[in-house]
Chain A
């Protein structure tokens, strides 16, 4: 039990996740600044932001209360749990712990739900608009995300444990180095990008348009919790992608290299695209991305 709690709260769960996530967020900000010919903030700016936010006063919109304050907690706890599951599967693939990929898929949905419920309870029309956009965006990316996940399950001969998928790749080569695997990887990368709420899929927040939408009423520690949730996602989505597609028996540095490659891909997509409207995002995910993912699934069934 102590061991599980340690996994959940310290390593590879909560604390590690927020540390790496915030650091990665800092790297993202620095690189983005360089791309735009700015100097950018210091690398640890995200940590400073969180500390600053948690010291500030929390103001609650009139009429809202428990749902408003509790939902960010649940989002953060769910992703921390997912981080613990993924991290432990990556460290020791043979050990089964807590849940399999279907569980992870559903756990990864919870932060979005928490954001939506929190926003809905804040009684602000702009937050409602943000919540509805977040929900529609989730619908949009969830379809190709599921198809890509099933592609991986098919490729690993019906294995549902993340551990056995990793093990399969160690024995048979990474999933990424095949047609179906590559297609599924691209689709899932885009879906992960949308899950993170990065430009071009930041419709739910859209600062210039609906003033941070879903998060408009959040302040202080409650807002910090949402930022932490994003940070944990930034840590665990690349790990999930590596675990599903790109795992080989190599040393830690290669692993970190892969992590950074995925982060660089995120940063590149983020900095070269303007924000889409929500209907364009839906069209994008249900159109080309889903077709691409379906093609991947078909190839995987045929054995390519």
Chain B
């Protein structure tokens, strides 16, 4: 059996098809005059088909082959953007390819342990060292694909430098779906989740959420900021999976789908901004809401959804994950329970930080004041696809949030019956809010306030303020936090790449190279000394 269809793989496959179509429709507008659009569409189709096969396959060898192929198409798609994308593409290829190699090793070990290539026939546990290593090796690939710590560093780079739709297509939606899919298959299918592993997952998830969102807080580049959020949201999914109870897992899977929706919506909006305003530097943008209303509304809704504001979908899935974690904390003892609760605090606080970072984004791009450099530029929204796709995704954020309780999660994942310890009646709440808004607007109208409001220049201490001098862009919002005692050092190191596995790997490789270079200096006597020493050593070993 090469392929196997179960609810989870259908769910993933449906997601792949949906986001492929969305990206296609969007790309017709975005890539219209791009010189390399032929190659772009070719890689796009290839990626969708291969991803579809990856989600449906049941054979480990085929899976590994398809998975590796996806790494290649990702590299090619990033490279579409030409010169500026080369370093990011290289980094991506090295991280994804490196973890791919690890996965091959892991799969070989799994085969030698279980004697089967069929994913659904493999049942292993963590009793022996080889099986633990096999698990870790395959997990590395899944983490790298999903963009979880510590293999996340390609995501921000890729998001910053690849074309907007590519960022929306791969790191934001498809790679998340496949990465989380592999984690679920691996952890709950081929292996069995254990208590210790669940705790490690929790901590990894919490660290991913907090550190990525803290980095997002201080970014100056629109797409890079979104890239860090693409990392941070994975933390929630891992946290949900780590709780290993039906509601937590269902929450994680739902969050995965939600994240793909609002994150791709945000990337599409960012691509719109980049295309129309000609910049993705937050310092050079501002006040675009007036010129790009559709993009603004979509971005606003998606931002609220990602920050977990009720009644949007991000809130519902986060709320499910929190419940799963709370149940988990009660199941384990007080010592482990306190770790779990700290992770819960980190996750909940993470959503406040997410909100903060999106407040900054909205202020810097859509609200705030238009910089004079953009004043003479004609900014307008053009192209149906570029308007419809973000708007549709934003609408989906709202609808899937309100009607989330109707989604039959029990079919999605085998397990015990799904019970909500908490309550959240999203449709009633939204209805009440809607009615309240309606009544408010009626009162507003009844009062017969002037149909046209008086508009005045903003008041700044009674003097006309020169625009560019007094303009607050929003990028400086969180300098106070950057300067906050213990965080200062961490930020400095993070910006220098100390926590980047790629940079560290590069340093290590160069260090080894430097050492070899030092030895290889072309002076004959040195070589002679080394040869003699080597012979001496050989003799010692042989004679002994």
Q: Are A217 and B459 in contact (CB under 8 A)?
A: yes
Contacts of B425 in A (CB 8 A): 97-99
User: CA–CA, A12 to B345, complex, Å?
Assistant: 30
Query: Which residues of chain B from 456 to 506 have a CB within 8 Å of any chain A CB?
Result: 456-461, 465, 470-472, 474, 476-478, 480-481, 483-485
User: CA–CA, A110 to B363, complex, Å?
Assistant: 17
Contacts of B455 in A (CB 8 A): 59-63
Q: Are B453 and A59 in contact (CB under 8 A)?
A: yes
User: CA–CA, A14 to B484, complex, Å?
Assistant: 39
Query: Which residues of chain A from 95 to 134 have a CB within 8 Å of any chain B CB?
Result: 96-103, 105-107, 109-110, 113, 116-117, 120-129, 131-132
User: CA–CA, A229 to B388, complex, Å?
Assistant: 35
Contacts of B478 in A (CB 8 A): 132, 136
Interface of B: prevailing SS: helix
User: CA–CA, A157 to B330, complex, Å?
Assistant: 8
Q: Are B337 and A301 in contact (CB under 8 A)?
A: yes
- How near does chain A come to B168, taking the closest CB pair, in angstroms? 24
Proximity string of chain A (116-159) to chain B, C-beta cutoff 8 Å, 1 when within and 0 when not? 11001111111111011001101100110011001001100110
Asked whether A282 and B480 contact (CB < 8 A) given A8-B436, A102-B319, the answer is yes
Interface of A: prevailing SS: helix
Is the CB of B326 closer than 8 A to any CB of chain A? yes
Is the CB of B379 closer than 8 A to any CB of chain A? no
CB-nearest residue of chain A to B341: A150
Query: Which residues of chain A from 146 to 189 have a CB within 8 Å of any chain B CB?
Result: 146-147, 150, 153-154, 157-158, 160-161
User: CA–CA, A116 to B361, complex, Å?
Assistant: 12
Q: Are B289 and A121 in contact (CB under 8 A)?
A: yes
Chain A interface size band reads: 35 or more
Tell which of A59, A96, A107, A135 touches B423, judged by Cβ atoms closer than 8 Å. A96
User: CA–CA, A123 to B455, complex, Å?
Assistant: 12
- How near does chain B come to A117, taking the closest CB pair, in angstroms? 7
Tell which of A102, A136, A297 touches B322, judged by Cβ atoms closer than 8 Å. A102
Is the CB of A11 closer than 8 A to any CB of chain B? no
- Identify the stretch in A34-42, A74-82, A194-202, A234-242 within 8 Å (CB) of chain B at 4 or more residues: A74-82
Contacts of B437 in A (CB 8 A): 73-74, 77
- How near does chain B come to A279, taking the closest CB pair, in angstroms? 5
- Identify the stretch in B172-180, B267-275, B348-356 within 8 Å (CB) of chain A at 4 or more residues: B348-356
B residues apposed to A, CB below 8 Å: 287, 289-290, 300, 304, 308-310, 315, 319, 322-323, 326-327, 329-330, 334, 337-338, 341, 344-345, 348-349, 352-353, 355-356, 359-360, 362-363, 367-370, 421-425, 428-429, 432-433, 435-437, 439-440, 444, 447, 449-450, 453-461, 465, 470-472, 474, 476-478, 480-481, 483-485
16 contacts across the A-B interface (CB closer than 8 A): A63-B290, A76-B440, A98-B428, A100-B424, A101-B422, A102-B422, A113-B304, A117-B367, A121-B289, A122-B458, A131-B363, A136-B480, A147-B345, A150-B345, A160-B422, A283-B484
A residues apposed to B, CB below 8 Å: 4-5, 8-9, 14, 54, 57-63, 67, 73-74, 76-78, 80-81, 84, 96-103, 105-107, 109-110, 113, 116-117, 120-129, 131-132, 135-136, 138-139, 142-143, 146-147, 150, 153-154, 157-158, 160-161, 211, 216-217, 220-221, 278-279, 282-283, 286, 297-298, 301-302
